[in-house]
Amino acid sequence: MSSPLPDVLPIKPFTRPVRGEVTLPGSKSLTNRALLLAALCDRPVTLTGALFSEDTHLMGEALRKLGFTITADEAAHTIEVSGQENGFKSDAPVNIFVGLAGTAARFLTALCAAARRGVYRIDGIPQMRKRPMKGLIDALRSLGADIRCTRDEGFFPIEIHAKALRGGRVEIDASESSQMLSALLMVSPLTKDMLEISVSTHVRQPFVQMTKRQMAEFGLGSSSPSLNSNIIYAPSGSYNYSGNYLIEPDATAASYFLALPLVTAGELYIPKLKGPGFGLQGDTQFINVLRQVGLIASPRKDPPDRFGCETIHGLNVAYDKPAHRIGVDQNFSEFSDTFLTLAAIAPLLTGPTRITGIAHSRKQETDRVAGMVRELRKLGQDVDEHADGDGLTITPRPLKADVEIDTYGDHRFAMSFGILGCHDLHGNGQPWLSIKNPACCAKTFPHFFELLESKRLESLNPAAA
C-alpha cells in the first residue's frame, strides 16, 4: 500500500524525457454506467478493468444498500454485480450517500425514482448540494415520480417515494449536465410505457452517445430514429447481458499522460487506449487538440487479418521539439473535463491559447473556469476571463516559482497542474510548484501522483523503462 500523500505535495520535475508505458485506470464514466446497467440485468455481470475510486465506491455501496450483491476485487480490477432479484426489497427507508460524485447522484436518483416501491433518501457533501439536479428532478416528476427536496428546491438532499414511472413524453433540460439525460435513458426500460424524451436545450452529445452505445452493449436495442433532432425515443426491451464486460481505460485520465510528453519532450505508450472515433469515450477528442499543439499520436496495431480488420492495442504518443509547442484555439463544449489539462500547460506553449465552450464547468466540482484563472495568474500568466463566462484566453508569461496550487477539492486541478510541475523550470530538477490537497485525486485516480513519480524515476534510468 502506498504512503498517504502530504497536505502539500512539491512536484519533482523531470530532468530527462519521459519514456516507457503507462497503464491507466478504467473509465469512471463507463464503470458507473456499467454498474447501473448490470444491476438492471437478470443475470450476474462481472466488470473487468473497472475503476476503483471514491466515485465508483460510492456507486457500488449505494447499490448494495438497494439490495444488490456487489463483489469487488481491487487487485484484479473486477466488480461482480449479482442478486438482481433482491433489488429494491427493503421495507425501511434507504439512506444513500453520494459524496461529490455527479454520476452516482444523477444515475441513482433516476434509478430509485423508477423503482416500484420504497423510500430512498439521497444526499452528498455540501458541495454536492450546490450541483445541478433540477432538470432531472423536474423530468422525473413529470413521469409521476414523488421526489421531495428536503432543503432547497432543485437540489440535494432529496427523498424519493417510489411508485414506478409511467413513461411517455417527457421534456428535460440537461444543459447543465448531460448526466441527467443519460440517467433518464438508462432507466427507460423500467417505465410503464416507451419513453419519448424531448431535449429542450443543447446537450453535450459525446457522453449521451456513449450512454446509448453502452446500453446497446448490455443488450438493449438501438433507439428509433427521429426526424426531430431534439426528440429521443428510448430503446424498448430489457437488458440481458451476462458474463464479463470490459471497461475501457479512462480517456480523461489519459489527457494528463498525453500531455506529459509535451512537457518533458518524451514519449509514452498507453495500452488499450483508442483514438477518437474508435472507443466509447468522447474525451479521446483531446488527442486531436494535442496534435495541433505538436504531439505525435499513432495507434499500435496488428497488420490487417484476412478480412482486412486491424486490432488496436493502444496508443503511442511522442514529442521531441520543446521549442515548437503551439498555442491553440479550441471549443471544449463536447469534452470539457479535459480543458484544464490544456489550460495548465498553456504557459509552456508558444502564443496564446484560447479555450471556449466551458461555461457549464462552473457548476461541476467547483467553478473550474474561475479557479483556473486564479491559479494561472498566481503563476504569473496573463489570463483573460471572457465576458460571456464561457471561456478564457491564456497568454504565456515567465512562470513564477514557489507557487502552491489550490485544488478546491477538485481532482482535475490537482492532476493538471501536477503535469505542469513536471516541467524543469530551473533546469536543476528542483521543485518549483506544489499541489495542495493532492489526495483529492482519490475521486477518480487514486494512485496518480505515485504513477507520475514512478515515470520520473524511470526516466532517470531509461533501460528500466
Tell me the pLDDT tens digit for each residue of 54-84.
Answer: 999 999 999 999 999 999 999 999 999 999 9
CA distance 150 to 164: 21
**Non-local CB neighbours of 385 within 8 Å, separated by 6+ positions:** 369, 370, 373, 392
Q: What is the pTM of this model?
A: 0.90
Whether the predicted pLDDT of 305 surpasses 90: no
Query: Residue 1: pLDDT band by 50, 70, 90 thresholds?
Result: very low
Same domain, 93 and 180: yes
Q: Among residues 147, 177, 205, which one ends one of the domains?
A: 205
Whether the predicted pLDDT of 463 surpasses 90: no
Residue 142's CATH number: 3.65.10.10
Average pLDDT over residues 24-45: 97
235, part of any domain = no
143, part of any domain = yes
213, part of any domain = no
Same domain, 183 and 311: no
CA distance 87 to 35: 13
Same domain, 188 and 268: no
Number of domains in the chain: 2
Same domain, 45 and 15: no
Same domain, 319 and 450: yes
Q: Which letter does DSSP use for residue 441 in this model?
A: G
Whether the predicted pLDDT of 182 surpasses 90: yes
Average pLDDT over residues 418-426: 98
Q: How many CA atoms lie within 13 A of 318 on its CB side?
A: 7
Same domain, 22 and 32: no
216, part of any domain = no
Same domain, 289 and 388: yes
> Which one of the listed residues 123, 337, 390, 410 is annotated catalytic?
337
Across the chain, mean pLDDT equals 93
Query: Residue 202: pLDDT band by 50, 70, 90 thresholds?
Result: confident
In this predicted structure, what is the pLDDT of residue 457? 96
Would you call 250 a catalytic residue per the annotation? no
Same domain, 193 and 253: no
Q: Which pLDDT tens digit goes with each residue over 326-372?
A: 999 999 999 999 999 999 999 999 999 999 999 999 988 889 999 99
Q: Which pLDDT tens digit goes with each residue over 135-144?
A: 999 999 999 9
Residue type, 123: D
Same domain, 19 and 60: no
465, part of any domain = no
Across 169-178, 228-237, 435-444, the highest mean pLDDT is recorded for: 435-444
Whether the predicted pLDDT of 268 surpasses 80: yes
Q: Give the residue numbers spanning the domain of 20.
A: 8-26+249-460
Same domain, 135 and 259: no
Same domain, 253 and 192: no
Same domain, 299 and 357: yes
